[in-house]
Structure 1
Amino acid sequence: MSLFNKFKKIKSSSEKNHQSNDETSKHISKKIHHNVTYLKDRFKDCSDIIFRELKRNLSTNQSAQILLVFTDGLVDSSTVNENIIKPISFYKELRKQDCINITLLQEIILTNNIKTTKKFDEIINSILSGDTVLLIDGSDEALLLSTRGWESRAVEESSVESVIRGSKEGFIEDIRTNTAMIRRKLKDPNLKIKDLKVGSRSKTSVAVMFVEDIVNKEVLQYALEKLEIINIDGIFDSGYIEQFLEDSTFSIFPQIQVTERPDKVCGNLLEGRVAILVDGTPDALIFPVGLVQFLQSPEDYYERFIFANIVRFIRFIGFIIATTFPAIYVAVTTFHQDLLPADFVLDIAKSRIEVPFPPIVEALLMEGTIELLREASARLPSRIGQTIGIVGALVIGDAAVRAGIISPVMVIVVAITAIGSYIFPHFSTSYSVRFIRLPMLIMAATFGAFGIVITWAWIIAHMCKLNSFGYPFLAPFAPINMKDMKDAALRVPIGGFVSRPTPASSNNKKRK
């Protein structure tokens, strides 16, 4: 099914969902005590929901009832006290009024963002999102006042995508801080942000970002419709969104790029891609992407192109080493000893005299040990984790060689493979590499070099079939696109980037 047909099918389902949601929406009453009863019933046993009642005398010797509802801990208390309660309490002109209406309060209150609503679902969502809701007796409208002010982590360098040269800013868990960092780098009115609420209970804020005159409109609409029909009660990380958006769920290769760097998001937005930010997580999602993007780093564009190309070439070599090096060793030592010099074959044979296991068992034992150490060091505190990884690798490797369980050459092969798997700029890429190694080893032990060729043929065929929102995963190599080759395995100097890559819409291909 084409991307356009999927879009039409998803759109029809989304419209049905919107219709059912609108029909079940409840409106507020003009009598404030009815509204108070309803809200207190919905927030029963919620000790952090504050109901603050205010009364102001009017010229008719009657008092106007005003109710503020907000969540303690999610609002900025000084904003509520100084910009809402204080103006209402001390505004002298209120005593001369016959009644208090929404328009008058909008002029008095000093918050920077005020909205009106008649729906209880919007009121409840605003309260739980950190806004303050103001209700007036005799009015069937409520004011939604922006008072969000919870504690958040300071902006710091990403620990996953650190660079030597370049910006040291990384996303944090607050979505508005993240969008502000992108807006500060891209001061373009065509940079648009669409806010959505995803999750029937969590109501998680999701921001879809794109440059309007560059983005591929079909990809954008397809993503928006898929977001709107997500049916789940809670979204707590961008990983939820990623798994709902990707088309090939069972593929070992990611079809969406994950990053913590604002500069990388900005660069991809200018290439016509779409970025998604999720409140509560420092990871942004970027699509459509291909395999080439997962092997690129922002630092490739900050250094001179000669040095950047050398590093990028080493990265591609590391991909081959991390996926195939143990399989090549197993195939050569098991089936193809005649490919190696005689002296080298004798040295390998001497080192394996006391080893009771065949090379494939050695490789699986060492790979399993490396994976255990990797997971253990990742789950422990950073300082202890580094110590466990280094000490564990040295002690276990040396003890295994001395005990005659593993040959010294196998330890070297596995160590080089592990180093090769750590050079990828994106941690998610290493999962795919680690998964590929296992079938590659088994096929090499069974069929030798022919098994490696078969496995790579299967992997390449799978990647040729794979796409990310209609964009071929192996582009620009398959299908070949010479225009996009300027930033693929190697890149041209910055001055050579005169046109945008394929993901951009066709009406704005020239960079300007």
Structure 2
Amino acid sequence: MPFIRKLQRRKLSGGGTSRKTPANPPSHTDSSGPVSGESLSARLNWMKQELKDSSDIIYREFTISSGQRCALVYVRGMIAQETTQQFIVRSLQRESAQLEEKDIYQFLFEDKALSVSQAEVIDEMNQAVQAVLNAGALLLIDGDKRMLTFSISAYPTRGIDEAPNESVIRGSREAFIEDLEKNLTMLRRRIKSKHFKTPSINKGRETRTSVVLAYVENVCKPELLEEIKRRLSHIDMDGVLGSAYLEETIEDNPYSPFPQIQYTERPDVVSAALLEGRIAILVDGTPIVLLVPVTLPMLLQSAEDYYQRYIAANWIRWIRYFFVLASLTLPSIYIAVTTFHPEMIPAQLLITVAASREIVPFPALWEAFAMELAFEALREASIRIPKSIGQAVSIIGALIIGTAAVQAGIVSAAMVIIVSLTGIASFIIPHFDLGLALRLLRFPIMILASMFGLYGVTCGMILIYIHLVNLRSFGVPYLSPIAPLVTEDLGDTFLRAPWWKMNKRPVQLTNNQVRQTDDPRAWVKEKGDLE
């Protein structure tokens, strides 16, 4: 930086080659940058040097009626330019005529010369540069080293719409968007409590992405909050462009196929999790919010379970648990039974299955592998291609390929049915990453089934269970409250108890377990006026 400092001294001295010290030399501090004095020209030159080759940075210089030179620095397209022109520039030019011997910042704040409420005074140049890059307007005044930053960001954002991946029938239709402030507003509108806290940190050396930890102070465990802050403090990367960047660096076991952090795009799901004692991690620029800690039963719950009547919700939850098990083991059981245990199949069905497999030249394992890979390819293709033709390709592809494969004798009709049922079962899983983990584990279990029959399937399930028992999510057992068994938390696991029975929060998540104190159904015991 010696050359820049020399150039700044020359500009301050009038552009000559003399090394004469100017009358008002700028002060230099390591924390604020090379220039932090009162000269407007020096500060603007330093900022232009720091932000050079940035065509979207606007430097607007103007003079107010008191004779002082001012400059406004901002990023084009990221602030409300009409607000800047009307409430900052024109207000300064109009109201500054009243400025005599009064301090200009006292005049701006105490006399309310400006109509912009969100303003902050700074005096360090590095803070000034960061304020401009954070979609703020920076006001510099000649003769005063203090600067004003105005929060008047107005960059284009997507409107609030329905959650595309977590749709419900009776619940809220709102979903998070890429704007962090609007996401926090949706949470604050649901949790109107002084205990709702949202501290913010920046991650990414180049992106300086805002990351917010949202929690309810009197419900959340302090040690959980400190652990999350400790893990986030170790992140030092060049950019954080999404919540997945943080997820992979703070989870307990990154080599496990099972997700140890839940993500969602629904504000009501996040609000319910915060009231249980969990912590949400919001990242600017993404609609996906992370929730920690999480357990396997939580990943098998849907927002719809809590909006329907508990009888219907319990029936749907039982179906979901059954098909989750089917999505993992159905092809393996078919391979094991047809290869090692045909006596388990009824005689008439066995004759039908044997007749369909008579012309198939491949063993059951290769037959299942081929159909599963084809189904995975169709599923991925339906996601990547345009939505207008994606559904047609997936349906037509499945029908044509399945029918043609059976007629050509490549696979049996029974295998097509098994793979189709397995695919449908995997779509029932509410959490996509959990469904993907089960899809991946399906293949090694199929190999064990082809080698050892049902004994291999059982061994594979035991190995998965041992892994799940040893898995943790921020210190919480992954199979809680099943293993270890916590009987008071079973009311929202295999069954969903009615709301008037769920008086306590989960034991593993919070120290404040009292959710409701009075019996909401106490009115039943009293004789009403309508009787």
TM range (shorter): over 0.9
> Structure 1 residues 198, 491: closer, same or farther in 2, change over 3 A?
same
Summarize deviations over 1:42-61 as a string: whole Å, max 9, x none.
11110100011121243xxx
2:495 aligns with 490
Letter in 2 for 1:54: F
CA distance in 2, matches of 1:254, 1:511: 31
1:180 aligns with 185
> Does 1:342 pair with 2:337?
no
> Does 1:312 pair with 2:323?
no
Contact residue 31 and residue 126 of structure 2 kept, 8 A: no
1:170 aligns with 175
Letter in 2 for 1:181: M
1:473 aligns with 478
Q: Which of the residues 360, 363, 366 maps onto 1:361?
A: 366
Once the two structures are superposed, the pairs formed by residues 79-228 of structure 1 within 5 Å of their partners are 79-94=83-98, 96-98=99-101, 101-106=104-109, 107-228=112-233
> Structure 1 residues 23, 440: closer, same or farther in 2, change over 3 A?
farther
Summarize deviations over 1:441-467 as a string: whole Å, max 9, x none.
111111111111111111111111111
2:38 aligns with 30
Structure 1 range deviating more: 476-485 or 137-146: 137-146
2:50 aligns with 42
Deviation at 1:166, TM superposition (A): 0.7
> Structure 1 residues 133, 368: closer, same or farther in 2, change over 3 A?
same
Deviation at 1:132, TM superposition (A): 0.6
Once the two structures are superposed, the pairs formed by residues 407-486 of structure 1 within 5 Å of their partners are 407-486=412-491
Letter in 2 for 1:72: R
CA distance in 1, matches of 2:106, 2:502: 53
Deviation at 1:112, TM superposition (A): 2.4
1:56 aligns with 64
Letter in 2 for 1:45: D
> Structure 1 residues 318, 109: closer, same or farther in 2, change over 3 A?
same
Letter in 2 for 1:76: A
Deviation at 1:225, TM superposition (A): 2.4
1:66 aligns with 70
Letter in 2 for 1:304: R
Q: Which of the residues 57, 60, 82 maps onto 1:78?
A: 82
Partner of 2:199, secondary structure, is strand
Aligned residues: 486
Contact residue 216 and residue 504 of structure 1 kept, 8 A: yes
* Percent identity over paired residues: 39
Deviation at 1:304, TM superposition (A): 0.9
> Structure 1 residues 121, 230: closer, same or farther in 2, change over 3 A?
farther
Partner of 2:144, secondary structure, is coil
Contact residue 507 and residue 513 of structure 2 kept, 8 A: no
> Structure 1 residues 495, 23: closer, same or farther in 2, change over 3 A?
farther
Contact residue 65 and residue 97 of structure 2 kept, 8 A: no
Unpaired runs of 5+ in structure 1?
A: 1-21
Q: Which of the residues 480, 495, 510 maps onto 1:505?
A: 510
CA distance in 1, matches of 2:380, 2:428: 17
Deviation at 1:135, TM superposition (A): 1.3
Summarize deviations over 1:413-468 as a string: whole Å, max 9, x none.
00000000001112122111111101111111111111111111111111111111
Partner of 2:145, secondary structure, is coil
Partner of 1:433, secondary structure, is helix
Letter in 1 for 2:108: L
> Structure 1 residues 229, 66: closer, same or farther in 2, change over 3 A?
farther
Summarize deviations over 1:26-67 as a string: whole Å, max 9, x none.
372222222111110111110100011121243xxxx21211
Summarize deviations over 1:331-364 as a string: whole Å, max 9, x none.
1011111111122111110000110000000100
Contact residue 25 and residue 119 of structure 1 kept, 8 A: yes
- What is the TM-score normalised by the length of structure 2? 0.89
Summarize deviations over 1:457-499 as a string: whole Å, max 9, x none.
1111111111111111000000000011010111111101111
> Structure 1 residues 357, 315: closer, same or farther in 2, change over 3 A?
same
1:15 aligns with none
Deviation at 1:293, TM superposition (A): 0.6
Contact residue 101 and residue 136 of structure 1 kept, 8 A: no
Partner of 1:148, secondary structure, is coil
Deviation at 1:222, TM superposition (A): 1.2
Q: Which of the residues 399, 403, 416 maps onto 1:394?
A: 399
1:16 aligns with none
Once the two structures are superposed, the pairs formed by residues 231-380 of structure 1 within 5 Å of their partners are 231-380=236-385
Partner of 1:453, secondary structure, is helix
Contact residue 202 and residue 234 of structure 1 kept, 8 A: yes
Letter in 1 for 2:203: V
Contact residue 217 and residue 505 of structure 1 kept, 8 A: no
CA distance in 2, matches of 1:143, 1:361: 69
> Does 1:230 pair with 2:235?
yes
CA distance in 2, matches of 1:160, 1:134: 43
CA distance in 1, matches of 2:96, 2:286: 45
Partner of 1:140, secondary structure, is strand
Deviation at 1:198, TM superposition (A): 0.9
Deviation at 1:411, TM superposition (A): 0.2
Letter in 2 for 1:439: P
Contact residue 36 and residue 123 of structure 2 kept, 8 A: yes
Contact residue 160 and residue 427 of structure 1 kept, 8 A: no
CA distance in 2, matches of 1:283, 1:47: 32
Contact residue 64 and residue 99 of structure 1 kept, 8 A: no
Deviation at 1:410, TM superposition (A): 0.2
CA distance in 2, matches of 1:511, 1:196: 34
Contact residue 272 and residue 503 of structure 1 kept, 8 A: no
- What is the TM-score normalised by the length of structure 1? 0.92
Contact residue 194 and residue 207 of structure 1 kept, 8 A: yes
Contact residue 206 and residue 279 of structure 1 kept, 8 A: yes
RMSD: 1.5
Summarize deviations over 1:184-205 as a string: whole Å, max 9, x none.
1111111111111111100111
> Structure 1 residues 134, 477: closer, same or farther in 2, change over 3 A?
same
Unpaired runs of 5+ in structure 2?
A: 1-28, 518-531
CA distance in 2, matches of 1:413, 1:350: 16
Summarize deviations over 1:296-340 as a string: whole Å, max 9, x none.
011101111110000011111111011000000001011111111
Deviation at 1:100, TM superposition (A): 5.4
Summarize deviations over 1:87-123 as a string: whole Å, max 9, x none.
11111544x4247532323332222211122223322
Partner of 1:230, secondary structure, is coil
Contact residue 466 and residue 473 of structure 1 kept, 8 A: yes
